[in-house]
Amino acid sequence: MFGNKNKEVNKTRAWKRLEDHCKNMRKVEMREMFEQDPSRAERYCINLEHMMLDYSKNRINDRTIRYLLDLAEERNLKGMIEAMFRGDKINTTEHRPVLHVALRNRSNKPIYVDGKNVMPEINEVLAKMRRFSEAVRLGEFRGATGKKLTNIVNIGIGGSDLGPKMACEALKKYWAKDINCYFISNIDGTACCEVLNKVDPETTLFIVASKTFTTIETLTNAKTCRKWLVDALGEHAVCKHFVAVSTNLKEVEKFGINPENMFEFWDFVGGRYSMWSAIGLIIAIAVGMDNFDKMLDGAHAMDMHFKDTDFARNIPVIMGMLGVWYNNFFNLRNVAVVPYDQYLQFLPAYLQQLDMESNGKQVNNFNKYVKYSTAPVLFGGPGTDVQHSFFQLIHQGSSVVPIDFIIPAISHNEIGDHHEILVANVLAQGEALMRGKTVIEAAAELRKAGKAEEEVKRVKRFKSFTGNRPSNTFVFKKIDPYTLGMLIAAYEHKVFVEGIIWNINSFDQMGVELGKQMALSILPELQGNASSVSHDSSTEHLIATIKRLRK
pLDDT of residue 517: 86
- Coil, helix or strand at residue 476: strand
Tell me which amino acid residue 133 is. S
pLDDT band, residue 527 (cuts 50/70/90): confident
Asked if the model's pLDDT at residue 97 lies above 70, the reply is: yes
User: Can you give the pLDDT at residue 512?
Assistant: 87
Average pLDDT value for residue range 128-154: 98
Mean pLDDT (whole number) for 13-29:
96
The residue type of 45 is C
pLDDT at 5 over 60: no
In this structure, the chain runs to a length of 551
What digits encode the pLDDT tens for the residues 275-314? 999 999 999 999 999 999 999 999 999 999 999 999 999 9
Architecture of domain 9-74+310-410+479-505: 3-Layer(aba) Sandwich (3.40)
Return the number of other C-beta atoms located less than 10 Å from residue 330's C-beta: 15
Express each pLDDT in 128-137 by its tens digit. Answer: 999 999 999 9
**Three-class DSSP category at 35:** helix
Region 152-180: mean pLDDT is: 97
User: What integer is the mean pLDDT of 377-383?
Assistant: 97
Cβ proximity of 169 and 345 under 8 Å:
yes
Question: What is the per-residue pLDDT across 239-274, written as a single tens digit (0 to 9) for each?
Answer: 999 999 999 999 999 999 999 999 998 999 999 999
pLDDT at 6 > cutoff 80: no
Cα gap 263→280, rounded to integer Å: 10
User: Looking at this protein, which amino acid is placed at residue 251?
Assistant: E
Say which residue, 204 or 514, is predicted with more confidence: 204
Question: Is 9 a residue whose pLDDT tops 90?
Answer: yes
Task: Name, in order, each residue with C-beta under 8 angstroms of 548's C-beta and a sequence gap of 6 or more.
Answer: none
- DSSP letters of 71-117? HHHHTTHHHHHHHHHHT---BTTTTB---HHHHT-TT----EETTEE
- Residue with more model confidence, 150 or 533: 150
CATH match of 113-292 with 1.10.357.10: no
Say if 9-74+310-410+479-505 and 113-292 have the same CATH topology: yes
Q: What is the pLDDT of residue 2?
A: 57
- Whole-angstrom Cα distance, residue 204 to residue 182? 10
User: What band does 350 get if pLDDT is binned at 50, 70 and 90?
Assistant: very high
Which of 6-10, 157-161, 236-240, 459-463 is predicted least confidently?
6-10
Statement: residue 205 has pLDDT above 60: yes
User: Catalytic residue numbers?
Assistant: 357, 388, 516
Q: Are 248 and 266 in contact (CB under 8 A)?
A: no
Peptide linkage before 218 cis (omega within 30 of 0): no
pLDDT at 346 exceeding the cut of 60:
yes
Annotated domain spans of the chain: 9-74+310-410+479-505, 113-292, 513-550
Confidence of residue 529 (pLDDT cuts 50, 70, 90): confident
Q: Which amino acid, 370? A: V
Average pLDDT, the chain: 96
Position 437 pLDDT exceeds 80: yes
